[in-house]
Amino acid sequence: DLLHRKGRPHKGDMVHPYLRRREGLEQPDYPTPELEEVLKRTLGVPLFQEQVMQVAMVCAGFTAAEADQLRRAMATFKNTGTVSKFQTRLLEGMRENGYPEEFAERIYQQLEGFGSYGFPESHAASFAILAYSSSWMKCRHPDVFLASLLNSQPMGFYAPAQLVRDAQAHGVEVRPICVNRSRWEAILEGPERANGLFAVRLGMNLVKGLANEDAARIVAARGNRPFVSIDDLWRRSGVKAAALTHLAEADAFRAGFGLARREALWAIKALRDEPLPLFAAAEIVREAKEPDVLLQPMRAGAEVARDYNRIGLTLRDHPVAFLRDDLRRDDILSCRDAINARDGKRLTAAGIVLVRQRPGSSKGVVFMTLEDETATLNVIIWADTFEKFRPVVLSASMVAVKGRLQKEGEVIHLIALEIIDQSGLLADVGNRSNGGTPSDRHHPDDVIIVRSRNFH
């Protein structure tokens, strides 16, 4: 997977032979002892620039200077096709040295793959160290790993929503934003749980519209004495009511004060910025005598929609869970059921679009990652299919994909044949109750906004 994502040597048909040979499914091919000396470490497949230079010198009789020119051609990422200038020299040199025609052509095709992306072994080793260290941290300390990634956003393929969901699936308790607990960034909270992991408290930096300065004032005023009410927080911190509104919309008063979104927003409306000290005590007395207002609870789907729209993620049910009955009626499988289907099966699966990738070296192929409440599913969209469904592929926040399942070892893809826009169905999540039943009422703020990450 790292070879696919980072080095992309699959363009030269290097990854699959290397992986097959590493797994013992295919034997390395060394036509000569000299070539075995160069390629033995990588099972007969040239993966690094240094090896390509050695192959050119050993097989085709390149001089050191010519091999260096070939290296420079491979390193010219933005000027593809430069390796092809060496085609005649390489093929004729290998023929003169007695290498079979078929082998010479195959070696050249592999070398040509470096024309769009070539890298030295030191580059690969440096990346491997980072990848291994990150994998070790994610495996051994998923709580620390999550907090670190959340505090490093924006970065990488996956948004905070997916990072949080994956961490939860691996035993990490993730706690909501709280005005009495959260700091600006995500933090670890003890004591350690039974599984040896700390809980991760989400930071106020996720709250849309909230300034760092306001969060700092709240944390400084809080000190070791938690706030007892919204009014107490407002008076001690000195932040404007607008900042408190951002926190209320992010549901940051529920954990500390037991106030739901609507209740918190109602309480904030009673505040007046810059109160006169002379009347401050009287104001407190007046507020204390006001009768409680019974506010209708928000629908479960609306809470999820507001979570996504205000902090970019939810700790509640996944949005697609509210749509499962609709999808099931249309014979649309969950991502988990699709993954568990047999190789080659025709099926339809749906999910929120997390990532779109269209690498320059992919010849128009688009790679899409979908997510629902059960799993994530990788989709491959060939160039002709992409052109047919271009508007949906590029803009839909949720899609249903009809296609054929392809399994190769642990790698599973759905090869898309048809792509259907389900964004309208996703927009209705805010109308749903826990049972997934639509409501007749709808509020504009309850239209869920999910932002995918696109790499072109």
Residue with tokens 């549901």: 251
The C-alpha atoms of residue 148 and residue 141 are separated, in whole angstroms, by 11
Q: Is residue 6 part of a domain?
A: yes
Token pair for 280: 């401050």
The per-residue pLDDT of the chain, averaged, comes to 85
Q: Would you state the pLDDT for residue 77?
A: 45
Q: Is residue 311 part of a domain?
A: no
Q: Is residue 304 part of a domain?
A: no
Q: Is residue 444 part of a domain?
A: yes
Domain that includes residue 25, residue range: 2-123
Residue 80 φ/ψ, nearest 5 degrees: -70, 155
pLDDT beyond 60 at 344: yes
pTM: 0.81
Q: Are residues 333 and 439 in the same domain?
A: yes
Q: Are residues 90 and 226 in the same domain?
A: no
Q: Is residue 302 part of a domain?
A: no
| Neighbouring residues of 329: CB distance < 8 A, sequence distance ≥ 6 | none
pLDDT tens by residue, 111-140: 766 555 557 788 888 989 999 999 999 999
Which of 68, 94, 123 represents a domain boundary (last residue)?
123
Q: Are residues 108 and 149 in the same domain?
A: no
State the sign of the Cα–Cα–Cα–Cα dihedral 174, 411, 127, 454: negative
Q: How far is CA 438 from the centre of its chain?
A: 29
Question: pLDDT-derived band of residue 83, with 50, 70 and 90 as boundaries?
Answer: low
The CATH number of whichever domain residue 170 belongs to comes to 1.10.150
Can you tell me the mean pLDDT for 346-360? 92
Angle, helix 101-112 to helix 87-96, in steps of 10 degrees: 150
Q: Are residues 247 and 204 in the same domain?
A: yes
Whether the Cβ atoms of residue 399 and residue 381 lie closer than 8 Å to each other: no
Regarding predicted confidence, which is higher, 259 or 84? 259
Alpha-carbon distances of 17 from 28, 42, 410, rounded to whole Å: 9, 10, 16
Question: pLDDT-derived band of residue 9, with 50, 70 and 90 as boundaries?
Answer: very low
The C-alpha atoms of residue 199 and residue 211 are separated, in whole angstroms, by 25
Question: pLDDT-derived band of residue 10, with 50, 70 and 90 as boundaries?
Answer: very low
Q: Are residues 262 and 342 in the same domain?
A: no
Residue 282 φ/ψ, nearest 5 degrees: -65, -35
In what order do the strands lie in the sheet containing 174-175? 174-175, 199-201, 187-189
Q: Are residues 13 and 104 in the same domain?
A: yes
Q: Are residues 325 and 431 in the same domain?
A: yes
Q: Are residues 119 and 147 in the same domain?
A: no
Q: Is residue 31 part of a domain?
A: yes
If one counts the domains in the chain, the total is: 3
pLDDT beyond 60 at 278: no
